[in-house]
Amino acid sequence: MDFSLSDDQTQIRNMVRGFAAEKIAPFAAQWEDEKTIPRAVLKEAAGLGLGGIVVKEDVGGSALSRVESVLIFEELSYADPVVASFLSIQNMCAWMIDAYGTEEQRQTWLPRLCAMDKIASYCLTEPGSGSDAAALKTRAVKDGNSQYRVSGSKAFISGGGYSDIYLVMCRTGEEGPKGVSCLLVENGTQGLSFGANERKMGWQAQATATVNLDEAPVPASHLIGGEGMGFPIAMSGLNGGRLNIAACSLGAAQSALDKAVAYMKERKAFGKSLSHFQALQFKIADMETELQAARIFLYQAAWKLSHDASDARKFCAMAKRLVTDTGFRVANEALQIHGGYGYLKDFGIEKTVRDLRVHQILEGTNEIMRVIIAREMLSDD
What DSSP element (H or E) covers 256?
helix 230-266
**DSSP-derived pairing of the beta strands 147-158 and 208-219:** antiparallel
227 classed as catalytic: no
Give the separation between CA 71 and CA 97, rounded to whole angstroms.
Answer: 23
Contact 158, 121 (CB under 8 A): yes
Q: Which of 32, 75, 350, 363 is catalytic?
A: 363
Long-range contacts of 312-318 (CB under 8 A, 24+ apart): 312/239, 313/239, 313/372, 313/376, 314/372, 314/373, 314/376, 314/377, 316/239, 316/240, 316/242, 316/243, 317/242, 317/364, 317/369, 317/372, 317/373, 317/376, 318/369, 318/373
Q: How far is CA 169 from the centre of its chain?
A: 18
Give the separation between CA 98 and CA 87, rounded to whole angstroms.
Answer: 16
Q: How many CB atoms sit inside 10 A of residue 287's CB?
A: 23
Give the separation between CA 150 and CA 246, rounded to whole angstroms.
Answer: 33
HSE-up of residue 180 (Cα within 13 Å, Cβ side):
21
Determine the 3-state secondary structure of 86 from DSSP: helix
Nearest to 1 by CA among 239, 313, 296, 289: 296
Which residues are catalytically annotated? Answer: 363
